[in-house]
């Protein structure tokens, strides 16, 4: 246990719900490993309390904050500055208090792409990528994927109008386009990477799949943002059909690692952070 004193820098995560979050376990381990005098906690903030919560961050001098569902879009109105990546993504998941100015970043997308490249597909240039789901997490990932120079990014969502709305918000240079739901099977058949950004398959509904894994071509990458369970039904079935698979744990760890680096200016102890999260699954 770290010792807290009057010099301890305060950090946290806000969300509704937030009790399930493993961010406190991961970030407090990071502070301990690096000798940073910091403490991190989870705060349950309902939508109607968001403005008060951000005012509290200012008033109490919190050094940084993570933001999770459902506040990633709405929190932007309460900040002083939004980074280019967060603007493009239309969502903020990390706030840095820079001398009283609150600056919003999106580390979801860059964390996801770093994990995907390290664990499954090192080179995304020229690839065709299908992204399933058009929620807050999807936006950050679409922006970060586009920076890698893929051939095309195809976005599908059950509510088709939402997919077309999200895709149209990005520059045409990013090669992000929405497709009707009925074209998803054909798109998956020719895709190099298929990514589930929805919550379908998350605990406790662990038998659900967001799409039929048999639609994917063997050798392609099946990726899922969910990290509880560590291997979803979608990934299990895709692996059995000859696909390479990529789970959501790496994204979770790296989005936290980038946040740590923005807050402290130090390299994040990624191995220790991963170890702490993995250990928490066994408790």
**So which residues are the catalytic ones?**
72
Beta carbons within 10 angstroms of residue 191's beta carbon: 24
Establish whether 137 is an annotated binding residue: yes
Residue 193, classed as helix, strand or coil, is strand
Q: Does residue 262 have a known ligand-binding role?
A: no
- Residue from 164, 156, 142, 151 nearest 85 by CA: 142
Residue 147 known to bind ligand: no
Q: Which two tokens stand for residue 280?
A: 């928490």
H or E element, residue 190: helix 184-190
Q: Is 87 annotated as a binding residue?
A: no
Query: Can you tell me which residue has the tokens 């299908």?
Result: 130
Q: What is the DSSP letter of 1?
A: -
Whole-number Cα distances in Å, 61 to 53, 79, 169: 12, 14, 34
- In angstroms, the CA 178 to CA 191 distance is 14
117 is in an annotated binding site: no
Is 156 flagged in the annotation as binding?
no
Q: Is residue 191 marked as binding? A: no
Residue 151 marked in a binding site: no
Ligand-binding annotation for 157, yes or no, is yes
Q: Is 126 annotated as a binding residue?
A: no
Q: Is 23 annotated as a binding residue?
A: yes
Question: CA 221 to CA 235: how far, in whole Å?
Answer: 10
β-sheet with 244-246: strand ranges across: 176-178, 152-156, 128-132, 193-196, 221-224, 244-246
Contact 176, 146 (CB under 8 A): yes
248 is known to lie in a ligand binding site: yes
> Which segments are annotated as binding site?
21-23, 68, 84, 93, 108, 133-137, 157-162, 225, 227, 248, 255
> Which segments are annotated as binding site for shikimate?
21-23, 68, 93, 108, 227, 255
> Which segments are annotated as binding site for NADP(+)?
84, 133-137, 157-162, 225, 248
């Amino acid at each position: 246990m770290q010792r807290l004193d009057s010099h301890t820098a305060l950090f946290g995560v806000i969300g509704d719900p937030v009790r399930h979050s493993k961010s406190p376990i991961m970030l407090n381990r990071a502070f301990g490993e690096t000798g940073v005098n910091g403490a991190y906690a989870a705060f349950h903030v309902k939508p109607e309390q968001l403005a008060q919560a951000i005012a509290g961050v200012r008033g109490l001098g919190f050094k940084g904050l993570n933001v999770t569902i459902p506040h990633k879009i709405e929190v932007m109105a309460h900040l002083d500055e939004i980074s280019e990546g967060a603007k493009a993504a239309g969502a903020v998941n990390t706030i840095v208090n820079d001398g009283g100015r609150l600056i919003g970043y999106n580390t979801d997308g860059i964390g996801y792409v770093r994990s995907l490249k390290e664990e499954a597909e090192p080179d995304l240039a020229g690839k065709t990528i299908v992204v399933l789901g058009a929620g807050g997490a999807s936006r950050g990932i679409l922006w970060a994927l586009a920076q890698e120079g893929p051939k095309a990014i195809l976005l599908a969502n059950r509510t088709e109008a939402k997919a077309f709305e999200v895709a149209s918000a990005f520059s045409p240079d990013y090669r992000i386009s929405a497709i009707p739901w009925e074209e998803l099977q054909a798109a998956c058949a020719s895709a190099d990477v298929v990514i589930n950004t929805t919550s379908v398959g998350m605990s406790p509904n662990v038998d659900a799949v967001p799409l039929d894994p048999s639609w994917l071509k063997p050798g392609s990458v099946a990726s899922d943002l969910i990290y509880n369970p560590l291997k979803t039904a979608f990934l299990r079935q895709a692996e059995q059909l000859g696909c390479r698979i990529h789970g959501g744990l790496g994204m979770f760890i790296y989005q936290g690692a980038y946040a740590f680096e923005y807050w402290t200016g130090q390299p994040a102890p990624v191995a220790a952070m991963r170890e702490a999260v993995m250990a928490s699954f066994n408790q």
